[in-house]
Amino acid sequence: MTTGHVLVIGGSSGLGLALAGLLLSGGAEVTIASRSAERLAAAAAHLRAAPDRLRTQVLDIRDEDGVRRGLEASVPVHHIAVTAADATRATGPLGGFQLTDARAVMDAKFFGPWLVGRYAAGHLPPTGSITLTSGIPAHRPRPGSSVTAAANAAVEGLVGALALELAPVRVNAVSPGWMDTPLWDTIAGDRRAERLAEMAARLPVGRVARPTDVAEAFVALMDNAHITGTVLHVDGGQRLV
């Protein structure tokens, strides 16, 4: 199980929060970072870890100077996980999708991780790792998902390039399918349970992912010192259906 200090950018909710909890239970020290101090405080209260094992940091992954300063403040850091994204404006019909919204999605999903790779290089030990988050739209796009499909595909392209440029630091990504998180309240509203049940019925594994399912994949990539430049799919077979 991963030990040392892990920075989870996007750790105040959903997948990032589940990952922070899993890391803490395995003995790691964790810093959770996100844009909202209020959400960080709520996440810390939920995790209920000792102050010497859990820290919080306000960090906007879209802000270059903020990323640089945030990584400097996290030293020493052994692993970095990026689960942050701007999903509130991520989907919509091509003709009505605003360029400003498309750029906001790319800033958080692609350029943010690119900035992390750029500024983390001098702070991670040779045995360290960076694990990014891709997603099913890169492989199973749907109408209205042009920007999310492109952003996730870009992340997967970034993984290989960073794995070479930052070596021996390892760089990988986890690609989840549909996952039962509070984000679905925004995506589907009252139809949340119905939409998730419909997908569960289609999947070979018979259910959508829990955040801990995907968090375990992050930990596995951090732990295995011989995996780099890889995208690990945790989608319940969604690419197949």
Predicted confidence (pLDDT) per residue in 31-79, tens digit: 999 999 999 999 999 999 888 899 999 999 999 999 999 999 999 999 9
Low-confidence ranges of the chain (pLDDT < 70): 87-90, 188
Domains of the chain: 5-235 (3.40.50.720)
Buried b (16+ CB within 10 A) or exposed e, 119-130: bbeebbeeebbb
For position 93, what pLDDT does the model report?
Answer: 78
For position 90, what pLDDT does the model report?
Answer: 67
Instruction: Kindly state the DSSP code that residue 189 receives in the 8-state scheme.
Output: G
d(CA 49, CA 71): 22
For position 86, what pLDDT does the model report?
Answer: 73
For position 150, what pLDDT does the model report?
Answer: 95
For position 87, what pLDDT does the model report?
Answer: 67
For position 193, what pLDDT does the model report?
Answer: 87
Q: Which candidate, 193, 219, 196, places its Cα nearest to that of 206?
A: 196
For position 89, what pLDDT does the model report?
Answer: 62
